[in-house]
Amino acid sequence: MSEPTPFLLQDADLSSLFRPAWTKAGEQQHSFRSTPEREEKKERRSGGVNGYERRHPAGKMKSRKPFFQEPAFSKPRELPPVLSGWKIQLISEARGIDEMAKQIRKEMKAYSLFQLARLLLEKPQRYHVKLSQRSDEKVTPLFQCVLDETLWLSEKEVLAHAFTQHRDRYYRSERITTEAPKGSYSSIGVCGMSQTLLGPPNHHEYQNKIRQLHAERFSHIPFEVFKSRIQMSRDEALLERWKEEQSSQEIFYLLTPAEEEGEGKIGSIAEAEEHFKKHHGASVMKKVEGEVILSNPMAWQQSSPVVRRMVEDEVESLKRFPLSFSQEVGHALAACGLQLFKAHENIVYVSIARPRSFHQQEMALSDSVKSLLAILKTHTAAPRAEQWKALLASCSPEQEAGNHEAALMKDLSWLLHEGYVVNYATRGFELG
């Protein structure tokens, strides 16, 4: 399995978090929710195209029937599978926390903990996903493919995924020319979702093709629902294309056959799948007990759609209000030696030191430090650029500008590390 993408903050300057909104207008905001889905929710709230009621221009409610109504004798619709009894928690990536701590110490600024948490949530490489069983609920079984850490709801799904994605580890294949199918075929089945040619319904491999396509690509959809979306076509061109596809066959061989197995020929893809289940099924999967941590984003992004949707929903929820994740990030940053404190209406900040005041220690300060503090006190509400301009303007006539700036940096650095001055990223310098 490949190593996770390293976390780097080079493309995520902390100061960019606090730019005005209009400067970010051209940046694309990623969302797991697609636009059609958001529009669908909007329509559902407002009555939408599938609503049962519609407001009449005169103000009265006018009833209307939906475009499609299931017949009374139809089977009850199967609900999509749900991942019950599992709790999701996001854990910050250790290398990302180290990079963030280094940058905070270098800039000597105080950042909002919520904003730092949202920064980590921008890319899946910056956090791990932990799933834990809830002891007080009925738990949906989870199975993990050990080849790529993906999670699935059944052993059948794990084996289908492992064979489809990793069969090249065990088998090699060759395509040979065979005789075209014989028989009279007047129609052909086409998958309504992928447009895959399934073959004529009177062909002996038709049902096997349906089950194989469902297992490989649409296992998250109930089989009967998937089957109901198959379309029948009498297009002669499609029939000819299917016959051409059937005029060749893929034959599988063992990648490293034993001596007694000769050339290691297995046969068709169906025979190779059966061989894989029999000889490798037990070694490529395990049942998840207690908890599991997915350190690679591809592990949950390629998992069962139920798992993927649950993680995406959690990430979207935390982007809106990252309380639980920010607490975990705060503990991690504190372990790196940074300080957490509240200011400005209970906003939690992270910085190199907690703010504190001088009290009776002012008499022991040097004249340069006293001057610096006096200037910051009179420019408390000014932007950082104006504060720094006022500090530079305090240079005495007999002092060179370069030496004055170096002395300011030295005094200011000491004050920031001691917490007597705090450099807020969104506000500027403030006395502790």
Distance (Å, rounded) from C-alpha 111 to C-alpha 333? 12
Interacting residues of 225 by C-beta distance below 8 A, sequence separation 6+: 78
Q: Residue ranges of the domains in the chain?
A: 76-127+307-352, 158-282, 355-431
Higher pLDDT among residues 53 and 227, named by residue: 227
Q: What string of DSSP letters covers 295-349?
A: -SHHHHHTS-HHHHHHHHHHHHHHHH--HHHHHHHHHHHHHTT-EEEEETTTEEE
Show the beta-strand stretches assigned E in 134-230.
143-145, 151-152, 171-177, 188-190, 197-199
Q: What is the pLDDT of residue 84?
A: 87
Question: Look-up: residue for tokens 């009290």?
Answer: 359
Q: Is residue 279 within 8 Å of 167, Cβ to Cβ?
A: no
Q: What is the pLDDT of residue 36?
A: 41
What would the mean pLDDT of 142-150 be, rounded to a whole number? 95
Q: Write the single-letter amino acid at 150.
A: T
Average pLDDT, the chain: 81
Q: Is residue 372 within 8 Å of 423, Cβ to Cβ?
A: no
Is 54 a residue whose pLDDT tops 70? no
Is 370 a residue whose pLDDT tops 90? no
pLDDT tens digits, one per residue of 153-210: 999 999 999 998 999 999 998 888 877 788 888 899 999 888 898 989 998 888 888 8
Is 56 a residue whose pLDDT tops 60? no
What would the mean pLDDT of 407-413 be, rounded to a whole number? 89
User: Roughly how many angstroms between the first and final C-alpha of the chain, as a whole number?
Assistant: 50
Of 47-51, 62-66, 318-322, 385-389, least confident by mean pLDDT is 47-51
Distance (Å, rounded) from C-alpha 368 to C-alpha 127? 45
Q: Residue 227: CA atoms inside 13 Å, Cβ hemisphere, count?
A: 12
Is 376 a residue whose pLDDT tops 50? yes
- Contacts for 172-177 with beta carbons within 8 Å, 24 or more apart? 172/252, 172/253, 172/255, 173/250, 173/251, 173/252, 173/253, 174/250, 174/251, 174/253, 175/248, 175/249, 175/250, 175/251, 176/248, 176/249, 176/251, 177/247, 177/248
pTM of the model: 0.69
